[in-house]
Amino acid sequence: MLYRFVLPLVLLLALPVAHAVDAPAMKYEPVSNDPQAGGQDRFIITYRSDVAARTTAAVVQEVGVAMARAGIATNLGGQPVRHLRRLSTGAELVRTGRKLDPREANALMQRLAGDPAVLYVEPDTLVRANDIRPDQPIVPNDPRFGEQWHLRPGNGAMENIGKDTTAYANRGGSNASMAWHLSEGEGAIVAVLDTGITQHPDLDLSLANAGYDFIIDKQISGRAADGRVPGGWDTGDWIVAWQCFPFPPENSSWHGTHVAGTIAERTGNGIGMAGVAPKAKVLPLRVLGHCGGYRSDIADAITWASGGSVSGLPANQHKAQVINMSFGENSLCAADGVFAQAINGAVSRGTTVVVAAGNDNADMANYSPSSCPGVIAVAANGITGRRAHYSNWGSGVTLAAPGGGRYANDASSGSLQDAGFIWSTINQGTTVPTEAGYAGYPGTSMAAPHVAGVVALMVSARQALDLAPLTPAEIRSILRGSSRAFPLMPDKAIGVGIVDAYAAVVGATDTGGDLAAPLPNGALRSNWAGAAGEGLLFAIDVPAGAQNLNLRTFGGTGDVSLFVKRAGAPGSDGSGADFRSVKPGNSESVVIAAPAAGTWYLRVLGVKDFANVSVIASFKAP
């Protein structure tokens, strides 16, 4: 979104008056009240152009000395000052290890401004234009957007979808429509490894010819001869009798077109529906045809999509930042197998790989490529936020996303509901492509592209701010930390929560450090894992008058400790905590009878490697 800042035209109508000697201009911008919630911890220092440029270390040292001379206690137990980056103007952006109140902030800036080499010091505040912090999701003019519960906030709003006669509380949406205030995916490329793509007026097909059909075998591709061909077009994947025993005859699925639309269907164009990242570009790679697709073709497509070299093919001129794979098989992902090797290569080249967990209501550990190391494995939830009855589960699932529950109230049987499906683009041909259309599909195949689209929003938002790209591991961490807690404890483990597009984009563009995963009162956050020395950060907002704040970790394997602090996160090593619980194992507890109002932070720190740990925070509301 483009914000326009307009300076008012001021006419000086008063007569000039005599005045005393001008007072010297202040070299810093004082703050008279809290410039940001909780205080100020980011400062911009502009040095005079006629002095030698400071090194990063020198800037950090000077701010640290100024804090000490101003008598500002760090309460960090770690690094008191961090250098974030040098701005385009040449100014230096630094961050203190905790938020300073107005008195401390002014004292620090005054000390820094006393350096003759400093031209100006100012707080790095959040500048707001009108409605820069949205409180309502964007509603585009796409006429069938009303059917897409999965793109709206999962805030419990009652929604009646399509032809349904029953309304449901939407607690399973991806919050993409809120994220469009911040990013629409422009500049991001998502490689969709699937059945290919078809002509559709609601899709950006600018990279369709730049894609590739990776299917070599003519029986799978449907072509007259073996070999790969340029272009990622879907020519159909229908099955005739006995062609793919034991599968029955089937019409073409147009699966890749549906997935592509979920990721990047055009929005605000007055037709059809919308996609999670409507300005991202899809690079379609056909790897699935009649009867499916071979691992070997898929592995080559993963390599090529991420900028690697594939013999006999030209270099990919449109390297993907994200790969979506909405397919799988019942097999282990061997460390030395082609899936694992290809994915490892893609991740090493900086490409995030998103994979559907599978639709067999089984442990995902036995499915590939969703269980391969380095992927973001996505389970499916329905509109109520429950696990979709068909969705695979297990400790390897990263998070859940809308896939549709099929039946009323996301039950395992009953009557099919429009609210039980994910709505997107398809083709209406039974075998070969004919007319474009729209349809609702359920599955983890639909959940994965929601997450791939959110990654595209994150990539685009960082590009717009000229920030360095995030690594796949950082993207995975932000997705987990920004996820929304399940409204009810899932019957099986399907990750740490439901994807939240808006929170993920905010997390991706926050250069300030840790992202605290939200802990609603009484909500259980499960399936957390990490290595010894690694920490997880959570936050719960406690109102005035609340009683008996109970903060706990339990379950799983390994050993964690719990560190708790109000109005600021404990240090990465637990330092500065107001309360702590450091017993052996994972059963840690902190109980505060009369907690002060505000945000309380929980740092869960691995003493040993840990897995499947649950975290819960609750209080008695006033």
Known catalytic residues? 194, 255, 445
Task: Give the Cα separation of 274 and 179 in Å (integer).
Answer: 13
Q: What φ, ψ does residue 286 adopt, rounded to 5°?
A: -80, 115
Which runs of E-coded beta strand occur in 137-196?
157-159, 168-170, 189-194
Give the distance between the most distant pair of CA atoms in the chain. Answer: 100
Which residue has 């994807």 as its token pair?
499
CA 85/CA 67 separation, integer angstroms:
20
Instruction: Give per-residue burial for 306-324: e unless 16+ CB within 10 Å, then b.
Output: bbbebeeeeebeebbbbbb
d(CA 463, CA 345): 23
Tokens of 4: 């326009």
Tokens of 256: 């890749």
571 touches 76 (CB < 8 A): yes
Residue type, 121: V
Residue 165 DSSP symbol: S
Residue 108: strand, helix, or coil? helix
Cα R_g (the chain), whole angstroms: 27
N- to C-terminal Cα separation, the chain: 39
Which of helix, strand or coil describes residue 295?
helix
What pairs with residue 212 in β-bridges? 230, 285
Q: Cβ distance 401 to 448 under 8 Å?
A: yes
* Whether the Cβ atoms of residue 47 and residue 27 lie closer than 8 Å to each other: no
Tell me the two tokens of residue 70. 């101003």
Q: Which of 588, 410, 400 is nearest to 496 (CA)?
A: 400
